Amino acid sequence: MAGCVLCSAIVAAPLRVVGLKSESLVDPIQLDSASPRLAWKLRAESSSDRGRSQSAYRILVASSLERLQANEGDLWDSGRVESSRSTLIAYEGQALASRQACYWKVMVWDESGRASDWSPVASWTMALLEVEDWKGSDWIGLGKDTRTSKLAEREFMFRKNPEMRRSHASPLLRKEVELPKPVKRALAYVSGVGYSEFYVNGQKMGDAVLDPGQTNYEKHTLYVTHDITESLRKGINALGIWLGSGFFGQNVAWEEDFDYGQPRARAKVFVEYEDGTVEEFGTDSSWKATTSPVVFDNVYWGETYDARLEIPDWASVGCDESLWQSAVWLEAPCPTEKLRSQLIPPIRVQRLIEPVEVKDIGGGKYVVDFGENLAGWVEIEVEQEAGDVITIVAGERMEPDGVTVNTGTSGGAPGRIQEMIYVARGDGPERWSPRFAYHGFQYIEISGLRSAPQPGQLKAALVHSDIQKTGRFESSEELLNLQYEITCRTLEANWHSIPEDCPAREKCGWLGDAHATSDISFYGYDIERFLAKFLRDIEDSLRPDARYEQVVGWGDGVPTFVAPGKRTPNWPLAIDWAVAYVILNWDLYLHTGDADVFRRHYQNIKHFVSYFESMRGPGEILPSGLGDWCPPLWDRKSAPEYMYCHPHVSGTAFYYRALQISEKMAGLFGEREYEAYCGKLAEDVKDAFNEAYLVEDAASGSLFYGSQTATVMALKFGMVPEDKIEAVVRGLVRDIEDLHAGHHAVGIHGLRHIYTVLADFGHETLAGKMLLDRTFPGPGYLADYGFTTWPERQFNWDKEPRYRNSMNHPMQGGFAAFFYEGIGGIRPVFDGAGYQTIEFRPRLMAELDWARVSKESPYGTIRSEWRRTEEGLQWVLEIPVNSEAVAYLPTGSLEAVSESGSDLENVSGIRNAEVSTDAMRPSVKLRLGSGQYSFLIED
């Protein structure tokens, strides 16, 4: 049956166009691209429709809703375009101006040439595109203000830390403006660094917190767009900005070298009146400034708020400004042309969490357990006397004595514990939570209350970037479900405008952690814009290496360990962290189909290849890397059986992977000479790798690369000679089963792929056993121990509790990508990137009773659900309209497979069926059109 077309799609109703997005956003008001890219999804009227696709489209873009409703595309009428593309289609109409509103819709023609109805209307608005748009606004802040000196001195003495005397103040800025006419539309563009809140007539605009996102401020600074139309009125209006230090003002945590300066803001407000005229207002010295009740804020150490210093009407009309001073001009953190619109999802409070236990430990102190490790802050509601000081110390674990909150996992590097301090106003019920600092914690110790905390008085606020969850995993094994839940909780707790390593201690964008978790992030979340921004952060963090400055052709340099900010350590550059720049670009292309992001960074990736090529030593081996990171008992000399992969081994393997990716993308971009260069270099590296590290075990006849991680990487990246694959797989299995009692001995680089490699090469039973093993160091052991997020280090906690490292580190959860690519079998492919073509290769079908896995792709919902029944294996697939799939069914017989009770030759949507031997196992390979399928594979 190989190569035959079995059936064609059944005649069905026209397609529906839904889910319109501009630059991957729904109706954005802040686009700064001159040619925004448009996308939509397609829906069939019936779930039984199969093989549905788009053959053409027409886009209309208009300057007004009325014109669009009249089918007049005065900005752009694409006409009928013969194309199946429904994502990333660049606007090609008239040049767009700053603040211009655009309304658009689309219609499509299906595979039979039938036209759809017009889609619902969508819109986008341009941000500020020209430097001149910022004229009339300056960077402003607070000069010296003595209003709070006496109370602030008292507070510093109370905290017994003189370092805080030199911390940056948290300013309030305000300005009253008069609007003489009715307002049609008003937009405010606000850049307040480190963090800022924007107010109009006493009300905070939006529900975002910790805004804007962190960047290398000297290279790019983000601004936030607010639609303030409904908040303004004819007459006098008040504008206000509340500033915090954030990652910009880092002069007390870490070292002063990480400090960009005191908080500052630049804002521009455009008011369009109903008569068509426009008035502009900007930040300048006519604004007023004073200190806020936040007498200390540091994103690492915490926040102190003195409610006695509140100015209730500070952002309202009529506020008494007699004690305010004029705002002062401050130096711009970056040139105006480097101000960039924030396109990532903002940080928001996601939910409030009630305590699961409150324990009185004496001395007026209480320990509160919120039941899960999280990132955010504590919200309190109290009735106290004026001047009462409530102190909250946050931590991730309890000490063995059961009464002491451990602060060792969150102090250390930044030099201090996490504290939230509130000084009471004393006039009735008071509610407070920090606004410019967040922490990682499950437990708090609270003191200073006049009575024991009551239900509803204390809540933990979960705070992270508002990235939409678009994936789902569930199986018959609750332990796997728990591991997935822990992974998601850990990922989410570390998203605060960048992918962090941990939310309690470092809060840094370590690149090795980012590439370890890239795939699971793309599988489970709408992470595209977030990671595209992080790639810009890496670009802004490129730096030269003085050891090799004589080599030319590296542009701005090569990636560091950390991005963004000044936190990166002054270590020799290491490829296993720097390679994230290549892998993240690759993953973004595979999962979204967006080649433009890769193209932006392509020259820098060429510099990356050249730089590390210059470092290759004798035998073509790359002497670079930190090695596999944080394997079990990593820093314990008493555990030599857990020795990690040597840095030169993993470093050389990652260089090979970077060359593979560069070769593929060079081919995509039509650079045949560079494609051939990377391919040849990759072969040289592979040969040298095998010559140096592939060793035979004489007793077993198996082959091994010296560690589980090195062997997993070699198999995953295709570095093993074809005639030696079986022996290498035997070597890996032998090391796991015979030398490590059925356990892994890998850090984050090996852990990411070990289960997928085992399952793909015929050892699903072993992969399943390892995942479900409840003894150290398996993930089942950590879940059973009570961790609600993955800890940084893998210790045998029963024997030796070691609460000195982070307890919330997503890098240890990268393996959960296996739940999608393995158990669900959902995989993106290079030819058909962005899930236009989907590969289904489900695993563990004999080890589990059932699994339900789904994810949202650029084309729609992808679903893989299977269950073992008395009749055989039931497998339900869903392929979105305008996509196709290649599915591998676990049987070597076409006759053993039926779909909805029919033999395969009678099934619509199946375009090809054949028996295939792939990765040492027979399977039935089907090429499928879109739609839903229900297969039965008989035992």
Beta bridge partners, 443, equal 369, 395
Beta bridge partners, 934, equal 876
Total number of residues shown for the chain = 939
Tokens at 239, concatenated:
């504008």
Enclosing H/E stretch for 268: strand 264-273
Name the catalytic one among 155, 176, 419, 792: 792
- Residue whose token pair is 């035959």: 4
Q: Is 214 left (phi over 0), alpha (psi -120 to 50) or beta?
A: beta
Residues 6+ apart with CB under 8 A from 869: none
What phi and psi values does residue 683 have, to the nearest 5 degrees?
A: -65, -40
Q: Which residues of the chain have pLDDT under 70?
A: 1-11, 145-166, 255-256, 411-415, 545-556, 635-644, 801-802, 918-920
Is 241 in contact with 267 (CB distance < 8 Å)?
Answer: yes
Tokens at 476, concatenated:
């018959």
- Residue whose token pair is 């079990």: 632
**Cα 759 to Cα 738: distance, rounded to the nearest angstrom:** 18
Percentages helix, strand, coil for the chain (3-state, rounded to 5) are: 25, 30, 45
Write down the pLDDT at residue 147.
Answer: 52
Q: Are strands 837-840 and 884-889 parallel, antiparallel or unpaired?
A: parallel
Tokens at 211, concatenated:
């805004």
Tokens at 659, concatenated:
């060359």
Give me the helices (H) in 51-208, please.
65-69, 149-159
Q: C-alpha angle with apex 331: 327 to 333, nearest 5 degrees? A: 120
Name the catalytic one among 506, 620, 663, 675: 506
Is 796 in contact with 830 (CB distance < 8 Å)?
Answer: no
3-class DSSP state of 639: coil
477 is annotated as an active-site residue: no
792 is annotated as an active-site residue: yes
Beta bridge partners, 866, equal 851, 875
Quick check: bond before 171 cis, omega within 30? no
From residue 352, give the alpha-carbon distance in Å to each of 421, 456, 461: 19, 10, 5
Q: Is 371 left (phi over 0), alpha (psi -120 to 50) or beta?
A: left
Residues 6+ apart with CB under 8 A from 484: 473, 816, 819
Write down the pLDDT at residue 800.
Answer: 72
Beta bridge partners, 713, equal none
**Cα 934 to Cα 939: distance, rounded to the nearest angstrom:** 16
pLDDT in tens, 897-911: 999 999 999 899 999
